[in-house]
Amino acid sequence: MAMGVPKAISQENSLISLIYNEQLKPYQDVVKGFKSVLNNSNFKVSYVDNTDYSPIDNNSRLILALGSKAINLIPSKRDNFTVSPDIISTLTLNNNLLMNTPHLAGIAIQASAKTQLNWHKRILPDARRIGVLYDPENSQKLINELSKIAPTLGLTIIAAAVRSPTELTSALKLLGREADTIFSIPDKTVYSGKTAKAILLFSYRNRIPFIGMSKSWVKAGAIYALDWDYISLGQQCAQIAMAILDGKKANSIPLQYPISEQYLLNLKTAKQLKVEFSNEIINGAIEVFQ
């Protein structure tokens, strides 16, 4: 995505409400990247930093909502706003929230299906049968997409349905028989604080590498996870903001994915599972746990 300035520039000052948790560094970095682009553009903007999740300023032209809590703060009825604000959002694993909230343009905090499978093939080249736990009600579309792309990369998706946490044990047993790895996806039925321990223990005991969704999963024992340059993510949000300020409707902008991709490794887990990484993969990680 080019970092240029749109041709048609509004001369009116646009108030942007920033809703985020100022205690978390990724949130801070997204806001930093967002402001760095807009402050160097020809748009006239000012900001309200809403870090306590208080009511939104009704003069807001745009809202940058970071995380699910921030999105849910925004009222569905906007009669009190001077101008009905558009929303830009990221840092939530709930893609349905990004796609189903009116007047919202979002960046999913995950790579595209093709990108994720390319990284899997690069980091774990000997693992060809990829197990995925999923709830059909939440993630069937993603499973279909992964299953379509995988054969083009010499990979196979082994999908195991988990419609409730009570089905997790039988689904894991299926993957234990058929899969080389377990690849996580953002599915609230499958992944929670209550299921994390069971999934990671299964991975260790059966020597099946588990690919996590975030740094916290890698710290807990996932063998790797993709991560993002959060300043770059904020800059990407700013590009969307400039398109909206230049007249584009937020709901006409398709769901985007982070431009900048990185990954983290857990070498302690790799040693336990007898997985060896090339020096190139180890040196390329932004963080290594060992």
Average the pLDDT over each of 96-100, 156-160, 196-200, 279-283 and give the range with the smallest value: 96-100
What is the band of 260 on the pLDDT scale with cuts at 50, 70, 90?
Answer: confident
Q: Give the pLDDT score at 5.
A: 42
**113-226+262-289 has the same fold as 14-110+229-261:** yes
Residue 192's pLDDT is: 87
Helix (H, G, I), strand (E, B) or coil at 277: coil
Cα 139 from Cα 134, distance rounded (Å) = 6
pLDDT, position 99: 86
Give the DSSP H/E element, type plus range, for residue 159.
strand 156-161
pLDDT of 2 above 60: no
Across the range 206-221, mean pLDDT stands at: 95
In angstroms, the CA 196 to CA 1 distance is 36
Q: What tokens appear for 185 in the block?
A: 């996806």
pTM, two decimals, is 0.82
Q: Half-sphere exposure of 119 toward its Cβ, with a 13 Å CA cutoff? A: 23
Residue type for position 87: I
Residues 82-141: tens digit of each pLDDT: 678 999 999 987 888 888 888 999 999 888 899 999 999 999 999 999 999 999 999 999
Q: What is the pLDDT of residue 178?
A: 97
Q: What is the CATH code for 113-226+262-289?
A: 3.40.50.2300
CB atoms within 10 A of CB 262: 15
Is residue 129 within 8 A of residue 179, CB to CB? The reply is yes
Q: What is the DSSP letter of 190?
A: T
CB 91 within 8 A of CB 30: yes
Mean pLDDT score of the chain, rounded to an integer? 92
List the chain domain ranges.
Answer: 14-110+229-261, 113-226+262-289
- Quick: pLDDT tens for 92-101: 878 888 888 8
Distance separating alpha carbons of residues 285 and 273, to the nearest angstrom? 19
Judge contact between 244 and 86, C-beta under 8 A: yes
Question: CATH classification of 14-110+229-261, choosing from 2.40.50.140, 3.90.400.10, 3.40.50.2300, 3.40.1160.10?
Answer: 3.40.50.2300
pLDDT higher than threshold 70 for residue 143? yes
pLDDT exceeding 90 applies to what percent of the chain? 80
Query: Distance between CA atoms of 84 and 19, rounded to whole angstroms?
Result: 17
Q: Give the model's pLDDT for residue 188.
A: 87
